[in-house]
Chain A
Amino acid sequence: MKGYFKKYNWIFPVGLAGLSFVFFQFFYPYHLFFKEQIQLFLYTPDYFLSYFKKPAWLSAYLGDFLTQFFYLRGGGAAILASLFCVEWVLTVRVLKRITSSTKAGLWALLPASADWVLHCNTLHGVSVSVGFILVLCMFLIYAALSGAWISYAILILFSLTGYWLLGSSFLIFPFLILAYDFNNQRVHWMKWIIVLVVTFAIPPVLRHHYLLTPIQSFIFPAFSKQSLLLQGALLLSVISSFFLKKIEATYSQLISFGIVTVLAFVLSLGIINKADFNLEKVLSLDGETYFGNPDRVIELSKKYDLKNKQAAYFTNMALTQKSLLAENLLDFYQPFSLGLIPPVTPEENWQSIFVSNEVFFLIGDINMAQHSAMLGNTFSPYQRSSRMIRRLAEINMVTGDSAAAMKYLRILSKTLFHRKWAESQVKMVQSSETNKWLAGKRSQVSDADLLRKSNDYLSSLQFLVVQHPDNLVAVDYLLCYLLLNKEVKLFRENYDRYYLKLNRAVPKVYAEALLIQLVTDKASQQEAQSYSIHPEIVTRFTEYTRIFEQTSGDMSALNKQFSKSYWFYYHFATIQKK
């Protein structure tokens, strides 16, 4: 066993890269797709220059450059795995420079693992990882210089430009210098103080120029203080390897085993703690919606059986696209109508606002779709989102606002992965051709007007249906909206007014709701029969009513047999306020 860890040092980076790749590719891929969607990387000089408006232009630009590849399946996982690998390699070199520890390969796993955990958050950018890699490079350059004057020159240069180039990632630099000198028994109080003061004075001084709050100035380009964990992990590696170096020879295997065990434990705990697998599931539904796979959304939704409004939102849209909403609405969790049309208000979290345009675009409420897409773009972390720009282009193509559509398409034509789509759409706009999709969307758009409050979805749905009675998506959304809000009387009125004219078979949920209202209205048998409700549903309704009356409305007696029925929802569904 002696020297095992040293001999097989390559296992660490390869194992780390492999495991992280597997994790992000197979257990966490939709977070990475989402990270691409909330940014917009353009190949223009102006876009490059926009990075100079804030600190960390180099790490932010390179980070965003890499993030665009998250659009590709496997691209995000491969890039992150590679970054962790590079972090490990550089950390090993840094540790060897500072502490000469024989366990550097093990200690170096700590920062890379911390970065892995941090990347479980949608807001943790690649720029932080790039900044970390670059600051390690800066340190290694400094440490490699033997001449005193040149090392001082480089130190001054790095200290003055580090924040400008790398932002908060540079804050670790003076500590590395200090540790390096300390280990080499070189005491340079003046140098240490100057480097420390300069490094930590620059953020608060430059924050006025960059218009950052005090906290933002110390964490930029990250959005959260948690991102400092990466630097904390490096410091911990340096300190630990420094203090344990003396006993490394004696307790080599024990230390190695201890580090690996602790690391595995910390990594597992970190991932369990920080990885939001529920959000990953929601993002998987969102991602498949974005990529136009309603079948996959329904499949995933069945598998996950999530009980939240976001999951219901994507599931309902997928069901609608497959004309199954009225049939299968209650096969899935429904938080009243919040899962149909979520509120779009500044009080909602940005991710909900970001995806809110999808439903409006689907049902044909094109103005609200535009409003939501603009909000989505503005509320996204970088205020420029490839997904929102694409949607805004689509919306303006649908409304025939060519100038606005072209504006967005020209922006997308400067990207790597949306260019092809944009160019094909430009041809369509310029040739005034319409494909089936565009013609279909345009047929939903209304020239008539209604003024309504942003959260008055009922008026909006009724308006859409009145304008285009053949818009089955809007009809289903209207009827299901009423049903989920238990407005059964209104449901029947609207059903009679709009759905009957479509000459379609009465779906299960509608049939169940109609039976309730027919009984309430004391409808004649002839009237009831005119709805052509399937006899099996009528029989089940009779059975439901019998048990309900027999048990005085005991939910548990009905749950097994009728939990997916509208009758059950009507009687027992309640909103629990948190």
Chain B
Amino acid sequence: MNILKFIETFTDDSLMRSTGSRRDSFNQFGNIGKTLAMASIPFGLSAFANKALAKDITATPATPIGALQFALTLEYLENEFYAMALDSGVIPASENGGRDLKVFQQIAAHESDHVKFLIAGLGGTMSANFVTKPTFDFTVGGAFDPFGDYPTFLALAQAFEDTGVRAYKGQAANLISAPDLLTAALQIHSVEARHASEVRRLRGLKGWISNDERGAGMPSATQAVYNGEGLTMQAGFNTATAFGAAAGSEAYDEPLTTQQVVDIANLFIV
């Protein structure tokens, strides 16, 4: 049984029914096992997960509109992250002969385009389906210094891009009834994957994810982004047989559920 799926059924229900805080949703677990729930909180920052802030985003409905709203919130996050990084000067202009700056300027341009595209797709800022940008804190209350420390910026960029790939993938089924929206989401999904590959390679890693490894130099707090990526059984086919588990797992990226992504994103939302 998929534990995360099990947890999601609880958190989704409580969050969708009310404006309830995360603390409320934890109470739903009662004696089922609070430690189990806490173990699922990404980035290992369980202390922060108890903040139960009213501004936290909640899981969007499993509908095409919900998927677009969910995507927009993620793009808000990425867009602001890269815009702030470029403004802060944390990306050294001389790094790799200027390569890094070119890379992140391109990524920033794409994320900005994605925000505009998704807002338009939701009917514009006056539409009832429009969702506003949350307030982000990329330091997570001071735990990270992404705009003062370049390696931290790179690590978070990798985590956000790899999360983005998994997040869009997890929304595909919600868009199956809306072919045009599905195609657009796929067209963003592959751009996120191109970004992820390049950021990983800038960090000296492979462009693809081996097993469920977050990779050298990634804080242990980012492991939740990679949990589940080590899968080597695909529709009954063992992808590890031919060349081993690392290659088999690299050949497939795995989805994250809406709730798993919400939990990651909420760490950066105040």
**A interacts with B:** no
